[in-house]
Amino acid sequence: MNISEGSVEECRYYLSLSKDLGYADVSKAMGLLEEVSKLLRAYTASILNSYS
């Protein structure tokens, strides 16, 4: 799970860099990445709560 969260943050960094350098419009990709991030957090919370 930690590796997945790190990958999301790495993606976020590269999308921001692409936007800052003017390579692409990343608004749609950022929205999708936010959705993936929320799903990952919910999945992580669900797993951690199942062990409680």
* pLDDT (tens place) for every residue of the chain, 52 residues total: 889 999 999 999 999 999 999 999 999 999 999 999 999 999 999 998 997 6
At 6 the pLDDT is 95
pTM of the model: 0.83
Distance of CA 6 to the CA centre of its chain: 8
Name the region of 19 (left: φ>0; alpha: ψ -120 to 50; beta: rest). Answer: alpha
Amino acid identity, position 50: S
At 41 the pLDDT is 95
At 1 the pLDDT is 85
Both tokens of residue 50? Answer: 């199942």
